[in-house]
Structure 1
Amino acid sequence: MTYPMDDVVASLNPVRDDDIPASDEAARTLLNAITTDTPPARRRRFRLAALAATAVAAATTTLIVLSGHDSGPLRSYANAAVQIDVTGKDAYEVEVKDAYADQREFREAFAKFGLDVRLSIVPVSPGEERRLIRIGPLHASDGDLPPGGVTGTSDTDLACPPDRGACPLRVRLGGPMFHLEGADVVLGRKARPGELYQDATPEPGDRPKSLHLTGRTVDQALADLDRRSLTWAFSLGQFKPDGSGGSWNAPANWRPAGDRRITGAWMRSSNSLGLLVTPQKGDPEPDPNN
């Protein structure tokens, strides 16, 4: 059975199958290739190649767009704890927004600029809040500042809102040490009740002078502190009139004989005092680990 379309196709092809010699296999193969549609497998390969070319073009476009956002060295960075701004060559202005933040947040911010800085915010005695307490090299073995290592380091008071538990802090840091040896920077904050002041160190005399404990016996001094509901801790050491000398902390709850004299007294927290006595034979020795 034939259809009109078969007749039309046949009329367009003057060469019929029985006109082709049976021995001419090459001609028959050529005719079959011409009159046969493109195989499905070939069409799938074509579609895959087209999709791959489209993906490559998209990836190339993305790379171009990303590279277009390169704006040069970082000039400012902030997280929830701190903001750092570059103010010049090896010069940075650091504003601490949260004095109680995790230390890792400060390290993260400095690392954004390629700086190795350990910033510590510690409780300090009244009147020393928001001050630069200490600065030194982070990795130097001798603990001394390298020549020209720090320049222009200063601190700046910021307005302290009355409803804030911790006032904001700002410090300006400068010097190549922040890129080389690294830096250990300590700033002061207001201490919570009972927190030990990190800037309180043994010295001769009373601090504040209103303590009136220097020169009294240990028994007299401790009786006075008991009446004030204050705790205490002893240090051993000796100082010369020019202030040179040294001291070390005695073990917790150690107390010397009651007739020995107090040579120095200082507030070590809001509710405790440090007391200094001159060392004698049999007293605790310095801890080699401290």
Structure 2
Amino acid sequence: MSSRIDELVAGLGRPSDDDITSEPSGVAGRQLLAAITAGQAPAQGRRGEEVPMPRGHRLRRPVVGAVAATAIAAAVLVGLSGRDSGPLRSYANAAVAIEAKGDAYEVRVKDAYADQREFGEAFAKLGLDVRLRIVPVSPGREREVVRMGSLHAPPDGGFPPGGLRGTSTIVMKCPPGQNACPIRVRLQGEMFRLQGADIVIGREARPGETYHDARPRQGDHPASLRLTGRTVSQGLAQLRRLGLTSAFTIGAFTPDGAGSHWDPPAGWRPAGDRRITGAWMRGATSVGLLVAPAGDDPRPRPVD
């Protein structure tokens, strides 16, 4: 037994490609939608209950037919709406704006303090495999390139041998008298789409942030700290008087900078009579202190 919906759908002519667009403007499309929307809803009884149909009346087929017809119409409307739209040539969010110009990409960093994920989101929208990080750095290194390499680089950094190449131009100087100005980056080459790039740029640190470029080393950095050679007790007392916090690192370095180090658990303190072998500013109000390894020190955590 056929239903009213089945008869309506069967009676419609097959729409041609010219009749179907992203909007239901074709003759066949309007007929189909009018037929679907003209179907009568089930009769309602008191308090919104459906009136029972006579025994043996088949309900399943008309419902399935209506759902199927609606699905076909939705597929046409959604499936054709994005045809011939082409790839994105520009994208912007609160953090960054990117525009494709030929085979190059102009990047304008609007908010250096934005969530790092917003930078990645923008590059991904244009099909670029680029990770841009804007990190807090020590005074004097703001608006400098801290690192540029490949996302898929070997352990020693740089670009993989024989890999795709690319060029970049980074303009970060502010005009005289202008405190806030965007960072501009121009990326050109296939590596930014296919091989990936990791770009790290410095910004001014906020209070309490750790400098990205802070590194454990031998001696005092700056020399005005004058903590190297003192005992741990003496060094901590001096930092307390200056209102500075501290964090310890265990390791040993030669004067030319070669060596190794590791971070003990947070809050760990060496014995007060041990000597400080290096000190450096790790933030605006925090100092890193280096001590040479001893037998009872916490061991380095294994690398995952």
Which residue type is aligned with residue 93 of structure 2? N
Q: What are the Cα deviations for residues 192-242 of structure 1, in whole angstroms up to 9, with x where unaligned?
A: 111111111111222222212222222221111010011100111112232
- Paired residue for 1:229? 243
Q: Among residues 259, 271, 274, which one is paired with 2:285 in the alignment?
A: 271
Which residue type is aligned with residue 80 of structure 1? A
Q: What are the Cα deviations for residues 141-197 of structure 1, in whole angstroms up to 9, with x where unaligned?
A: 646321355543453224277675xx5222334454323332232222211111111
Distance in structure 1 (CA, Å) of the matches to 2:156 and 2:191: 13
Does residue 217 (structure 1) correspond to residue 179 (structure 2)? The answer is: no
Question: How much has 1:140 moved relative to structure 2?
Answer: 4.7
User: CA 1:218–1:53 in structure 2 vs 1: closer, same or farther (change >3 Å)?
Assistant: closer
Which residue type is aligned with residue 109 of structure 2? V
Percent identity over paired residues: 57
TM-score where L is the length of structure 2: 0.66
Structure 2: 5+ residue stretches without partners: 1-7, 26-76
Distance in structure 2 (CA, Å) of the matches to 1:137 and 1:207: 30
Question: How much has 1:244 moved relative to structure 2?
Answer: 1.8
Conserved 8 A contact 1:107-1:118: yes
Q: Among residues 194, 204, 228, which one is paired with 1:180 in the alignment?
A: 194
Does residue 122 (structure 1) correspond to residue 122 (structure 2)? The answer is: no
User: CA 1:177–1:204 in structure 2 vs 1: closer, same or farther (change >3 Å)?
Assistant: farther
Q: Among residues 80, 105, 108, which one is paired with 2:118 in the alignment?
A: 105
Question: How much has 1:58 moved relative to structure 2?
Answer: 5.8
Distance in structure 1 (CA, Å) of the matches to 2:289 and 2:122: 40
Q: Among residues 3, 14, 19, which one is paired with 1:57 in the alignment?
A: 19
- Paired residue for 1:14? none
Q: Among residues 209, 215, 220, which one is paired with 1:201 in the alignment?
A: 215
Q: Among residues 96, 102, 108, which one is paired with 1:95 in the alignment?
A: 108
Conserved 8 A contact 1:131-1:155: no
SS at match of 1:179: helix
Conserved 8 A contact 1:153-1:174: yes
Which residue type is aligned with residue 257 of structure 1? A
Which residue type is aligned with residue 159 of structure 1? C
Indicate the RMSD between aligned Cα atoms, in angstroms. 3.5
Distance in structure 1 (CA, Å) of the matches to 2:101 and 2:228: 48
Distance in structure 1 (CA, Å) of the matches to 2:245 and 2:220: 16
- Paired residue for 2:150? 137
Distance in structure 1 (CA, Å) of the matches to 2:144 and 2:183: 8
Conserved 8 A contact 2:152-2:160: no
TM-score where L is the length of structure 1: 0.68
Structure 1: 5+ residue stretches without partners: 1-44
Query: Would you say how many aligned residue pairs link Structure 1 and Structure 2?
Result: 240
- Paired residue for 2:171? 156
Structure with greater Cα Rg: 1
Conserved 8 A contact 2:247-2:289: yes
Distance in structure 1 (CA, Å) of the matches to 2:169 and 2:291: 35
Distance in structure 2 (CA, Å) of the matches to 1:99 and 1:81: 7
